[in-house]
Structure formats: structure tokens, C-alpha cells
């Protein structure tokens, strides 16, 4: 099942870099900007995380929450956060359940090899838990600004 625009996003719970588990439902009443990325410490993922870091104050100024999700484990998330000074939690989706729910766990090709992985994507969920915007197959440059424009609407 892939979530579509205008649909309620089912609640999910994942382990977070904060040392606790985070559930989507705990942010009911606030917008949630949820971004999926393939792997910690890779160039494009680092650039995207740093762009979100730099925009974090503007995201929260509009009452929104920013969460990153990748299949990396919590130890990897901890190193990634420390190295890049990320002020938002990263969630670990090692079994790809949430990634599959959003339809971002897909067959990818790189240098002639095929493998399963996350297709970089971002989703904006409104205060009532409805998916109101999505960006699939994201190109990092300029993406964070486009997401911010939707938050302030």
C-alpha cells in the first residue's frame, strides 16, 4: 500500500537517534516534514541533511517538525548527527517497513548493478495526519526551499 496525496498517513513507530522510539501520532496537531534518504555519510545525503539543518529554525518557526528516515542503524545515525550538527532526530527503518508504506523502497540501478534501496523523497503531513505534499525522486539542490514554501502555505 502506498500512501497517496489527500489520504491519512497510518501511524508508525521507529527507533530514533534520541534513544527513544518516535511515533507519527505524537506530532498530531503539528505539520511533519518527513524526508527519506538512502545512506548516512554519502555526499548527496550529507548535503541534503545539512540543507535541512540550515533550514531547521525556519521549519520549526512555522510549528512544523522535521524527521529524517533511512535504513541506517542508530549507531550510524549518531555519528552522522555528531559530524554534521543535525538538530533533528533521525529514525532507523532497518526493515524498510515505513519506506515501503511510502513507496520509496524500490529497485535501483547504479553502475550496472541492481539493488533495493530508498529513493530520496520528502513528504509533508498536515496537523490532522493527512499527506498534503510529496516530492519523489528528489534532486538535492533547491529541494529544501521548495519544501519550506509548502510549510508556510
Longest alpha-carbon distance in the chain: 45
* Residues found in the chain: 153
Are 108 and 119 in contact by the 8 Å Cβ rule? The answer is: yes
Q: Which residues are catalytic?
A: 45
CA angle 126, 127, 132 (to 5 degrees): 10
Write phi, then psi, for 148 (nearest 5 degrees). -60, -40
Q: Who contacts 112 (Cβ-Cβ below 8 Å, separation ≥6)? A: none
Give the single-character DSSP code of 9.
P
Amino acid at each position: 500500500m502506498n500512501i497517496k496525496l489527500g489520504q491519512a498517513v497510518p501511524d508508525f513507530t521507529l527507533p530514533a537517534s534520541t534513544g527513544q522510539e518516535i511515533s507519527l501520532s505524537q506530532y498530531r496537531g503539528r505539520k511533519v516534514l518527513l524526508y527519506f534518504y538512502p545512506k548516512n555519510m554519502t555526499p548527496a545525503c550529507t548535503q541534503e541533511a545539512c540543507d535541512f539543518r540550515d533550514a531547521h529554525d525556519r521549519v520549526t518557526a512555522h510549528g512544523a517538525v522535521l524527521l529524517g528516515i533511512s535504513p541506517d542503524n542508530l549507531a550510524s545515525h549518531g555519528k552522522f548527527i555528531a559530524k554534521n550538527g543535525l538538530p533533528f532526530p533521525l529514525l532507523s527503518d532497518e526493515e524498510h517497513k515505513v519506506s515501503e508504506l511510502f513507496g520509496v523502497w524500490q529497485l535501483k540501478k547504479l553502475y550496472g548493478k541492481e539493488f533495493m534501496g530508498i529513493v530520496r523523497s520528502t513528504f509533508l503531513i498536515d496537523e490532522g495526519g493527512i499527506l498534503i505534499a510529496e516530492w519523489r525522486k528528489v534532486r538535492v539542490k533547491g529541494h529544501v526551499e521548495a519544501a519550506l514554501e509548502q510549510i508556510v502555505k
